[in-house]
Amino acid sequence: MISRKVLSELLRKPCGPYRDEDVLDKQECKLTSKCELVLYSFILEHDGKIVGLDDSERPLGGSGEDNRRFRFRGVLRIANPDWLSEFGLKTVEAELNLRASERAVREGERRGPPLTLESLFRSRLLKRSNSAWNNEGDDETKLNILVQGGKGLPAVFMQSSRAPTGLLWSTKDQNRQYRIATMHVATYSQSENFFWRWRLFALMKAIVKTSPPMPLHKQTPDWFAKMYLERFAYPTEDTHQRLIYDSADPDVDEQGNTQTPRQLLKVHKSEVLGLFASQAEWFVTNDAVRREKLLGLHSWDKFWRMVKKERQRAARRGVMWGWPIGKEHGAGGFLSSLESEGEELDKLVKQNPVTGKSH
C-alpha cells in the first residue's frame, strides 16, 4: 500500500484539466443531490480572454437574447469517488498511476501495485465526505481535479438559500451548481461591480424588510440612503470591536473586544448615494431588480439621469464620484475633452488677436 507521504506528493498538483460533463457523475452531482461542489481558483474566459463576472451579466441596456459563450475553469476537490462518472474514474486513476510510474523511475524505486480511488478512500488515505470544502489547517491528503465547462444560468450572489452570503455558479451541463470559494485574481478584479451590485441589492432588501411600510414610489435613492444611515451604518457591536489592534493594549482582549466604546467613523450621505449612483443604470435595467419591486422606478430613472450630469460636474472639480469600478476613465475622457477644447480656444485667440485698448 502506498504511503500517505508519497500519495501527498502525487496529488500535490490537481489532476486534469477535464470537462466537467465528461468526468462528473450525472446523478451524484446534479442540482438536487446532497453533494456540495466547491470550486477554488475560479477563472472565467470569453472569446479567448480572461474576463470577470461583470462581463458575464447581460450588457446594460442590452435587449434580446444574450448568445455569448463563457467558459469557466476551477479546482474541485473530489471528496467521494461516487462523484466521478465511470469515464472520470478511469481517467483520474490513469493520470494518478502515470504520476506514480514517473516518480518510481525518477526515484529509482520499484513500482507498486496499480492505484484505485476506491482502495484509497477505503483505506482512509483519502477522506470521504459530502462536501468539497478544503478546510484551512486540515492536513488530510486531498484529491483535487481541474474542471472546466460552459456557463449555464447567470451567477447568483447573496440571493440563494444554498449560499446566503456566497456565490453560486451554474454550468451548461445538467445545470450543475458550484459554490465559488476563491477566484483567480484576473477574474476577481473584473468582478467588483458584480459584487457591489448584488451587495447593494441585498442591503436594499434588508432595509425594506426592517423598515416601516413605505409606498413603492417613495422608496427612492434618498430614502434608501437615509434608512441605511439610521439602521445599518453603525452596528452596535462595532462600538466595542477592533479588527486591528495592539495585543499589548490592556483595553483590548484576545478577540479584539474593547472595554472603552469606540468612536465610529462618520459616514456621509453623499458616500452612500455615490455607491447607488455607481450602479444606477444597472438598478433601472436589471430584470431581477424589477421583479423584486423594491424601487420606485420613476424616481430611480430620474436619479440615473441626474447621476450622468453629476459625474461630469464632479469631474470638472477633479472629483471622481458615482462611477462604476473600472469606468473612471470616463471622467478622464471628459476632462481631456475639456482640455482639448481649451487648447483649441487658445489657438483661435492667438490666430485672431484683439486690437485696441482694454478698459
Region 234-240: mean pLDDT is 81
Confidence of residue 257 (pLDDT cuts 50, 70, 90): confident
**What range does the domain containing 325 cover?**
194-231+269-333
Give the rounded percent of residues in the chain with a pLDDT score beyond 70: 89
- Report the alpha-carbon distance of residue 272 to residue 276 in Å, rounded: 7
> What is the structure's pLDDT at 140?
79
Region 82-103: mean pLDDT is 97
What is the distance of C-alpha 133 from the center of its chain? 17
- For 20, other C-beta atoms within 10 Å of its C-beta total 27
Cell 433601472 belongs to: 284
- Report the alpha-carbon distance of residue 31 to residue 37 in Å, rounded: 10
- Summarised one tens digit per residue, pLDDT across range 263-277 is 878 899 999 999 999
Same domain assignment for residues 148 and 283? no
Same domain assignment for residues 65 and 185? yes
- Report the alpha-carbon distance of residue 258 to residue 17 in Å, rounded: 49
For residue 325, being part of any structural domain is answered with yes
> What is the structure's pLDDT at 78?
95
pTM of the model: 0.83
Q: Classify burial at 218, counting beta carbons within 10 Å of its beta carbon; exposed 0-12, middle 13-18, buried 19 or more.
A: exposed
- Output the 3-class SS for the chain: CCCHHHHHHHCCCCEEEEEHHHHECCCCCCCCCCCECEEEEEEEEECCEEECHHHHCCCCCCCCCCCCCCEEEEEEECCCHHHECHHHHHHHHHHHHHHHHHHHHHHCCCCCCCCCHHHHHHCCCCCCCCECCCCCCCCCCCCEEEEEEEECCCCEECCECCECCCEEEEECCCCCEEEECCECHHHHHCCHHHHHHHHHHHHHHHHHHHCCCCCHHHCCHHHHHHHHHHHCCCCHHHHHECCCCCCCCCCECCCCEECCCCCCCCCCHHHHHHHHHHCHHHHHHCHHHHHHCCCCHHHHHHHHHHHHHHHHHHHHCCCCCCCCCCCCHHHHHHHHHHHHHHHHHHHHHHHCCCCCCCC
Same domain assignment for residues 226 and 300? yes
Same domain assignment for residues 171 and 276? no
Say yes or no to pLDDT of 302 above 70: yes
For residue 249, being part of any structural domain is answered with no
Same domain assignment for residues 43 and 133? yes
Say yes or no to pLDDT of 150 above 80: yes
For residue 343, being part of any structural domain is answered with no
For residue 357, being part of any structural domain is answered with no
For residue 242, being part of any structural domain is answered with no
CA dihedral of 342, 347, 353, 357, whole degrees rounded to 10: 30
Cell (9 digits) for 145: 481535479
- Report the alpha-carbon distance of residue 269 to residue 11 in Å, rounded: 52
Region 124-149: mean pLDDT is 86
Say yes or no to pLDDT of 350 above 80: no
Region 230-252: mean pLDDT is 83
Same domain assignment for residues 68 and 204? no
Q: Classify burial at 312, counting beta carbons within 10 Å of its beta carbon; exposed 0-12, middle 13-18, buried 19 or more.
A: middle
Give the rounded percent of residues in the chain with a pLDDT score beyond 90: 63
Region 175-181: mean pLDDT is 94
User: What is the total count of domains within the chain?
Assistant: 2
**End residue of a domain, out of 136, 159, 190:** 190
Same domain assignment for residues 158 and 172? yes
- Summarised one tens digit per residue, pLDDT across range 105-118 is 999 999 899 999 99
Same domain assignment for residues 227 and 131? no
For residue 206, being part of any structural domain is answered with yes
For residue 341, being part of any structural domain is answered with no
Cell (9 digits) for 121: 478512500
Same domain assignment for residues 290 and 323? yes
Same domain assignment for residues 181 and 221? no
> What is the structure's pLDDT at 139?
67
Same domain assignment for residues 40 and 53? yes
Rounded to the nearest integer, the mean pLDDT of the chain is 88
- Report the alpha-carbon distance of residue 54 to residue 72 in Å, rounded: 14
Residue at 223: amino acid letter: W
- Report the alpha-carbon distance of residue 285 to residue 263 in Å, rounded: 39
For residue 284, being part of any structural domain is answered with yes
Check: CB of residue 129 under 8 Å from CB of residue 121: no
Say yes or no to pLDDT of 197 above 80: yes
Same domain assignment for residues 145 and 209? no
Q: What are phi and psi of 48, to 5 degrees?
A: 80, 5
Say yes or no to pLDDT of 342 above 60: no
> What is the structure's pLDDT at 348?
45
- Summarised one tens digit per residue, pLDDT across range 199-214 is 999 999 999 999 999 9
Say yes or no to pLDDT of 345 above 70: no
